A = this chain, B = another copy of it.
Amino acid sequence: MPRYAIKVQYDGTPYVGYQVQPNGPSVQAAIEKALCKMAKLPSGQHIPTSGSGRTDSGVHALGQVVHFDYPASIHPKAMQRAFNSLLDTSIRVIDVAQVAETFHARYDVAEKEYIYRVDVGQFPDPFKRHYTLHHPYRYDLAKMQRAICDIVGTHDFTSFCSTKTDKEDKVRTVYEATIMYDEEQHELRFYFRGNGFLYNMIRILVGTLLQIGDGLRPETELQRLLAVRNRKQAGPTAPPQGLYMQRVIYEQDPFNQ
């Protein structure tokens, strides 16, 4: 059976998260339901899919990648149209490609990019309440910008990982980590690119960085937290609605071959 990769955007607001779960609608279940209809499978049959990684309830994606084996050969453009007519408008397939049978959306990930958006207006923008964290406090941007540099490189990120994780190895490499202020939008944007991120890692980093910016922790705090390897000493987990899985990068781009 030919293997396909799809690039997916979604508004995570109405979902319990990316992965199928018993307690509510998931993005993965919506995609698999659309696939079943597309392939006209008899009821009970199902096409399994693999995403590049999970996203939690309320977390968004601008470029999630998912692969699956499909029982027929379809032109990628036709498959994209079929997906977008079958899926709810909270999910959109923005690219489809037929890929090598060895391609794996999760195992083959080289790098991932995430952004985290913070609404720093005095009162929360009603149009951003599902798409940003509202943080109206006075903050020192330059201090946060200096602090965030400490996580670039290869480190043990135990302090920035939910204790609910099942991963043993907490060492990850962050290639880029920046914070910019968008004056027009009254928004802070945190940007992270790395070879992988632990469970809640970006949300804990953002929660801790905001405390540094607010003056509640010293500028050198991330160095200390990397060394102590203790989740309890880091800041709070920032809420899900500010987080976006922006891009998944593979050694060979499956959508541009």
Contact = CB atoms under 8 A, between A and B. Distances in A.
B11 A92 contact: no
A127 B127 CA distance: 10
A134 interface: yes
17 contacts: A9-B126, A10-B126, A11-B126, A11-B127, A60-B127, A80-B123, A84-B123, A84-B124, A89-B129, A90-B126, A90-B129, A92-B123, A92-B124, A92-B125, A92-B126, A93-B123, A127-B131
A94 interface: yes
Interface in A63-121: 80, 84, 89-94
Contacts of A11: 126-127, 129
Task: Report how many copies the assembly holds.
Answer: 2
Q: Give the contact-size bracket for chain A.
A: 20 to 34
Contacts of A127: 9, 11, 60, 131
Does more than half of chain A's interface fall in helix, strand or loop, or is it mixed? mixed
Interface of A: 9-11, 60, 80, 84, 89-94, 123-127, 129, 131, 134
A142 to B, nearest CB: 28
Contacts of A134: 89
A95 to B, nearest CB: 11
